[in-house]
Amino acid sequence: MDFFEHGGRNGGTNISYDFSANINPLGMPDAAAQVLQREWKRAENYPEETSRTLCEAIARQWQADEAQLVCTNGASELIYAAVRALKPAAGLILAPAFSEYERALLAADCPVRCFPLRRENGFQAEEGLLTFLEQQPSGSLLFLCNPNNPVGNCMDPKLSERVLRLTARKKIWLAADETFLPFCRD
């Protein structure tokens, strides 16, 4: 697979909205700007290594188990950390895909197996994905980006459910990356 530069680093390229990085094309929310203006002096402090205070606040807000939360400095950091922690038998990605999946897998010396999305099908995931997954070893890690990056289309919900059931049955780790889902109409 060809590597492309992580989004948000397009130099002088004429791109109106860059959805290849988790950068809000709508700009910073007013509430966040107000907190930044009020708390900017705290930026000189070294951040908590485990983000414990943030995890505690999120757990309170969402009535979640704090032990189940991981806060990172962006999705890319989490992708690399997940690969290092899980040590998958193989890395499974739909291609084209967000380049950081493959980079993280290769950095961990993990074999990468690609399911090619076909241009003539609008790069939409299809039934063949299930056959591909059936052939993969337990302990593999599937990165499933929805909407797909860089293509931008969403997987059919019925196919998503079948993928979820199949990966659970086969004991394949599933990393569902839905970073840009709030920008989809449906």
- Contacts made by residues 156-159, CB under 8 angstroms, sequence distance 24+: 156/124, 156/125, 159/125, 159/126, 159/127, 159/129, 159/130
pLDDT band at 27 (very low <50, low <70, confident <90, very high): confident
Cβ neighbours of residue 184 closer than 8 Å, sequence gap 6 or more = 147, 154
**DSSP class of 6:** P
Average pLDDT rounded to a whole number, residues 82-106? 95
E strands along 52-140, which residues?
A: 91-95, 112-116
pLDDT tens-digit profile of 140-186?
Answer: 999 999 998 888 889 999 999 999 999 999 999 999 998 888 888 76
pLDDT tens-digit profile of 42-77?
Answer: 888 888 888 899 999 999 999 999 999 989 888 889
* pLDDT of 180: 83
CATH of 75-183, one of 3.30.413.10, 3.40.50.1450, 3.40.640.10, 3.40.50.300: 3.40.640.10
Residue 31: CB atoms within 10 A of its CB come to 8
Instruction: Enumerate the domain spans of the chain.
Output: 30-67, 75-183
Kindly write down the DSSP assignment for every residue of 87-109, as one continuous string.
--S-EEEEES--HHHHHHHHHTT
